[in-house]
Structure 1
Amino acid sequence: MTDSEITLLLDRWSKGDEAALEQLLPLIYAELHRTAGAYMAAQRAGHTLQPTALVNEAFMRLSNPADSPFRNRSHFLAAAAQAMRHLLIDHARRKQAEKRFDPVNRVTLLEGDFAGESDEADVLALNEALERLREANPRQEQVVVLRYFGGMSQEEVAEVLDVSVPTVARDWRIARLLLHEWLSADDAS
């Protein structure tokens, strides 16, 4: 099915046509699952979320397209990638909160770090760096989310953001440098 046909289904879904949703799901599910798999590959082994659960939860967050209709396939996939990112951040925050209040998992500085804690910290540190990037340059933050988390090509990102491909390439390069600098500074402190 072509992008324009998917766009028509998204439009019909946003207008309340449940039959359009039933036609749409099989067409986009594999792509959403691939995105979720990429997210999960970056997580620690034994993560309690699985790609299928991540897709389902993200889809639940996007289940009311009438509030903000999707312009096209790329726009929908970008929104799904954002939803997945936020789900992983929420999950990491919950895990850290559980560890903070669970006396079994308390570890003194002399005993070392609790296993697995750094993975949640990494997700949260990346989120803080992305928030900092959004304050500095919102478009660069969007480029990172769409490229890194959404798995989109530079051409797809340019289409979603309505900018040129060289602009996306430049934003991607600068954003990666800034994020690396900020995350390295966090690791050092």
Structure 2
Amino acid sequence: MPSSPSATDNVTLLLQDWGQRGDVQARDRMLELLYAQLREMAALRLAGAEPRQLQPTALVHEALLRMLESNAGYVDRVHFLSLAALKMRSVLVDQARAMAAAKRGGGNLHLTLSHAERESAGDDEAIDVLALDAALTALATVDRRAADAVEWMYFSGMRREEIAAAQHVSVPTVDRDLRFARAWLKRHLAGGQLA
């Protein structure tokens, strides 16, 4: 007896139908399947934000609008979620820049980095999103794979197994990349000199 396709397979098929045939119904169904996960991603990112600032639903909607405007060919669920993470980061950076410009630094948007490595439930220090964006950009010049891993886990809530599959590496390699990235980012954000 054939088994029914998993939700991941369904999302991949819907993404292909939308991308290859322009099937808007497939796009809408795919968004229905992923919306709760996208909303959870946004809520995790904004957990420490002040109530008057961007709300998770608004972050998801703005990120999706930016994604739908582009003509990116989404390969599968992991690819879509990793691009959603990039768009959420972009939205947060844009809002932080606007707030900093409006208040000359007095209203910077703060996020927590503790989610970047769920297994090491340590500090919940607030990090300015602009500083985090600059640090992630700098980390990418040192170790792109580690930067992607921390961004996918931090901004999209991807599990270590999903990151390993997307990067074609083992889970222990992802764990090492995350430990390196977390230490590198912590030192960079504290003002330490890094090569």
Q: TM-score, normalised by structure 2?
A: 0.81
Q: 2:116: which partner in 1?
A: none
Q: CA deviation at 1:70?
A: 1.4
After TM superposition, what 4+ stretches of structure 1 lie above 4 angstroms from structure 2?
none
Aligned CA-pair RMSD: 2.0
Q: 2:60: which partner in 1?
A: 55
- Secondary structure of the equivalent of 2:191? helix
Matches of 1:30 and 1:119 in 2, distance apart?
Answer: 23
Matches of 1:117 and 1:78 in 2, distance apart?
Answer: 25
Residues 14 and 64 in structure 1, CA contact (< 8 A), matched pair in contact too: no
Structure 1 residue 175 corresponds to structure 2 residue 181: yes
Q: Identity of counterpart residues, as a percentage?
A: 42
Matched positions, count: 171
Tell me which structure has the larger Cα radius of gyration. Answer: 1
Q: TM-score, normalised by structure 1?
A: 0.83
1:29-178 to 2 correspondence within 5 Å?
Answer: 29-43=35-49, 45-64=50-69, 67-100=71-104, 114=106, 116-117=107-108, 119=110, 122-178=128-184
Unmatched tracts of structure 1, length 5 or more: 101-112
- Give the letter aligned to residue 36 of structure 1: A
Q: CA deviation at 1:9?
A: 0.1
Higher relative contact order (CA 8 A, sep 6+): 1
Q: 1:19: which partner in 2?
A: 25
- Give the letter aligned to residue 165 of structure 1: V
Which structure carries more helix by proportion?
Answer: 1
Unmatched tracts of structure 2, length 5 or more: 1-5, 112-126
In the TM superposition, what whole-angstrom CA distance separates every residue of 1:11-43 from its partner, at most 9, and x where no partner exists?
Answer: 111121111012212111111100011111132
Matches of 2:153 and 2:109 in 1, distance apart?
Answer: 24
